[in-house]
Structure formats: C-alpha cells, structure tokens
Copies of this chain bind each other. A is one copy, B any other.
Amino acid sequence: MVVGIDKAASAADSVVSSAKKTPTAIPSDSVINLARGDPTMYQPYWRRMGDKCTVVIPGHDLMSYFSDPGNLCWFLMPELDDAIRRLHRVVGNAVVDDDRYVIVGTGSTQLFQAVLFALSSPQNPDTEPLSVVAAAPFYSSYPEETEFLRSGLYKWAGDAYSFDKDGAYVEVITSPNNPDGTIREAVANREGGKLIHDLAYYWPQYTPITSKADYDIMLFTFSKATGHAGSRIGWAIVKDKQMAAKMVKYIELSSIGVSKEAQLRAAKILEVIAVDCASSGPDKEENFFEHGHRLMSDRWEKLREVVKRNGVFSLPKYPRDFCNFKGKDTDSSPAFAWLKAKDGLNCDNLLREFKIITRGGPNFGVDSEYTRVSMLSLDEEFNLFLERLAEIKGATN
C-alpha cells in the first residue's frame, strides 16, 4: 500500500468548502498540533456569552491562604463547592450528596497524584510500593505522573488486563476513556483493589449520561467540562473522610492550596451553565452542553465521512444510548479520535508527513498503528485537519 497526497481528492470537497467558509488565520501549510487536547473549540461560545461570565477581582481581594477554615478542604472556596454540586445535580452525572467531600486541585492532574498519596500512605517503609494499573489504551500521562519522582509509596504497574500480582493495588478507570472514548469498568477485579474513577469526559457533549456516577473517588476537570484549560482547576468527589483529608494534606504539601482567582472564575462559569441548563421555556436558548454536543456530533460526522472515503484509517464505533440529561437517545462524540491506520502502518508518523501532530499509540500502551487526535481544536484547525486527512489516499483505493 502506497500512501500519497491526492490534491484533487473529491472526498475532501465538502470539507474543503466548509473550511473555506471560515475565515482562517492559519497558513495552509502550517503544522497543526492535535497532540494535546487543548479545548479551544469552546472559545467562540464563551465569547458570545459576553459579560455573563466575566469576573472582576480588585487588588485587595482573595489575599489569604484560607478560603473556608472550618471545612476539611480549607482552601476550597464555598462558592466553587456550591457551583460544582449544583452543576452535577442539574446534569445528573455524579452523586454529590451532602456527605460527599469536594476537594479542589490544580487540575485533575494534581488530584490524581493526591489520590495516589492518599491511597498509599502512611506506609511501612518495608512495604512494596502500591501497584497502579489501568487498562490499555490508558491516558498517556498516568505512567509518567506515577513514576517521575520514583516514589516509594506507589509505582506504575502497566496494563490492568495483564496485572496478576497479589495484594493491594490501584486501578484507574477513565470513562469515557482517554484516548479511545469507550465506556469502561474495572478489569483487574482482584482482591485488594482500590479504584480511581477519572470522569473528565463524563459530560453530555461527549457521551450519553446514562446514570449518576457513584464511586468512592471521582475526578473531574474544568478543562474538559467547559474548555477552560488555562485555569488549572479540577475537583474530586470523595466518599471517605480519611481519604479526603489525606488528599487535602497532599495539596497542602505540594502547593498550599489552589489559586483563588481560578476558583472564583470556575465558580462563576459553572454556576452560569447550571442556571442555563435548569431554565426552561419556549424561548430558551441552546445551553452549553447542547451547543457542545451539536458541534462535536457535527465534527464526528465529518470525520467519519472522510475516514470512510479515503479507506486508510478506521475509527471505533460507539453504541447509541439514552441520555438522561437530553432526554433522548444520543451518539457518543468523544473529545479524541482514536485513529487506526490500516495494514499496520505507523499512524502518528503517517499523519506527521501531512503536518498533523498527534500522540501515537505507544504513549497509551498499545501499537503504533493507533494514534490519538484532539477533536477540540478551533474550527480552522479542525477543518484543515480534515482537509489534510482527506488528501491521504492509499494506493489500494
């Protein structure tokens, strides 16, 4: 199979014309970086919201280390706590009863590490580090975040499917999964297992909301929920008080809390979405998640069309399901496309030849015929991506 550029590829016509409609600032020959899931796609929506989500912070505000000294999570701002619980209630994607602890972190990245610390300490110095596993393909940062400090408390132990050690371990379950968008459950299922549920993508724009998640430790992030990656705000919902207290300790020791400016802004934006989603009436405008789902569905439809026509790649299929939030059957439209190149080609390398940077399968614990492509870029980039993808044509077609 020979892969080459087909400049006149008719398969790309619809895409090219849609791209041409959009005024673009991106030179047509520039490299498009879709390796990181930078959620810039949502920016135009927030721009249209005008001043509705603007925060104004005077110089004397938010000065103290403390946000809520009486709360177990003393650095969590009460308005953020309220907004998080309110949004989950409106969306119906997680149980946030009053007995659950909300812990804020500098992104869910910091919280993931806080959970590892909480699950593994205090520990007898003679004890083996706690094994951390996830089913492949798993989020590419888990191994490095677990390993980089060579902690004696925990260590990365690879693919949960092949984990066969006795004793305590931690399984991270990302659902919908990053990179491949599948709905997941624990797979190791051995005695002594503790579970972390990373639910970063369990929001209505990406997947049908089929039930309220009700796990011991659930992680969410502002980045993927609303697109505000630059704020570095994540939150955990935790059942056990001791666990929550240890996570707070971790965040105290690693950064003495979490930026209040970012918390204030997250509180404002989550609150606005929750109010919008809860409002009704004939003149009701499309809410954030409806908007996001419409964009994502549209992108996935276009992507599937290009992939079908050029015959070089394949994509996972997702079951249609009833979404409690939307009140109807909906398709999944994950935040990443998990592209597989046919005939065992190195998918990441192939796309790089076409100036598309993605993150290859080996980063996620699987073969190089797979690669992960962000679906959350700006329109201009996404359209250019489709245009270039359509130009890749196997000689076998």
Binding site for B on A (CB under 8 A): 36, 38-40, 42-47, 49-60, 62-67, 106-107, 109-110, 113, 117, 121, 123, 125, 141, 144-145, 148-153, 223, 227-233, 250, 253-262, 264-265, 268-269, 272
Please report the C-alpha to C-alpha distance between residue A277 and residue B45 in the assembled complex, in whole angstroms.
41
Give this chain's copy count.
Answer: 2
Contacts of A36 in B (CB 8 A): 65
Of B63, B66, B253, B258, the contact of A148 (CB 8 Å cutoff): B253
B46 touches A230 (CB 8 A): no
A46-B65 contact, Cβ under 8 Å, with A106-B106, A150-B152, A256-B107: no
Please report the C-alpha to C-alpha distance between residue A57 and residue B254 in the assembled complex, in whole angstroms.
27
Contacts of A53 in B (CB 8 A): 58-59
A265 touches B63 (CB 8 A): no
A63 touches B107 (CB 8 A): no
B59 touches A109 (CB 8 A): no
Extra contacts besides A107-B256, A261-B265 (13): CB < 8 Å: A40-B63, A49-B59, A52-B59, A56-B57, A62-B231, A63-B227, A63-B230, A110-B254, A117-B148, A149-B149, A150-B151, A230-B257, A259-B259
Of B42, B227, B255, B257, the contact of A255 (CB 8 Å cutoff): B255
Can you spell out 24 A-B residue pairs with CB atoms less than 8 angstroms apart?
A39-B63, A52-B59, A55-B56, A55-B57, A55-B261, A62-B228, A63-B229, A64-B230, A106-B232, A106-B254, A106-B255, A106-B259, A141-B253, A144-B253, A145-B253, A230-B259, A230-B261, A232-B255, A232-B257, A232-B259, A254-B254, A259-B261, A259-B262, A261-B262
